Amino acid sequence: MVGSLNEEGFDSVTLSKGEGTGAYKNPDASPSLDFHFTDSPSVKLELVCHNEEVGTVIALICKHAKTTNPADGIIYVTDIKEAYRVKNGEPLHLV
C-alpha cells in the first residue's frame, strides 16, 4: 500500500506499529504483553498532503489497504495549521 502511495508521488509517510482494542476482536490475536486491554495489532499511517490531494490519498488507501477483516481501520483528515523544522525551528510554508 505504501508503494502505491509512493508511485503517486506521496513519498513522505510515517508508519507506527501498535496495538489496539475496539468493537472488532481479532480472533487470531494474542493478549498483549505490554497492555492488559489491547488485543489486536495495528499500524498507523501518517501522511501530510495538500487539500486537493486528500481524495486521491483516501482512494489509494481504501483500494490497497482493504482486507477481509471487518475492521480495516479509519481514515482521519485534519488540518495542519503550522509546521516547523526541528533542526532549526524554521517554519515550513504550507501552500
Residue 59's H or E segment, with its range, is helix 54-65
Fold of 1-95: Alpha-Beta Plaits (3.30.70)
Q: Tell me how long the chain is.
A: 95
Q: How much is the average pLDDT of 59-74?
A: 88
Predicted confidence at residue 18, as pLDDT, reads 84
Per-domain residue ranges of the chain? 1-95
Which of the two residues, 90 and 38, has the higher pLDDT score? 90
> pLDDT of 41-65, one tens digit each?
788 999 999 999 999 999 999 999 9
Task: Report residue 56 as a C-alpha cell.
Answer: 486521491
Within 13 Å of residue 19, how many CA atoms lie on the same side as its CB? 12
> How many Å apart are CA 40 and CA 75, to the nearest integer?
18
Helices (H), 32-87: 54-65
> To the nearest whole percent, how much of the chain has pLDDT over 90?
60
> How many Å apart are CA 81 and CA 14, to the nearest integer?
19
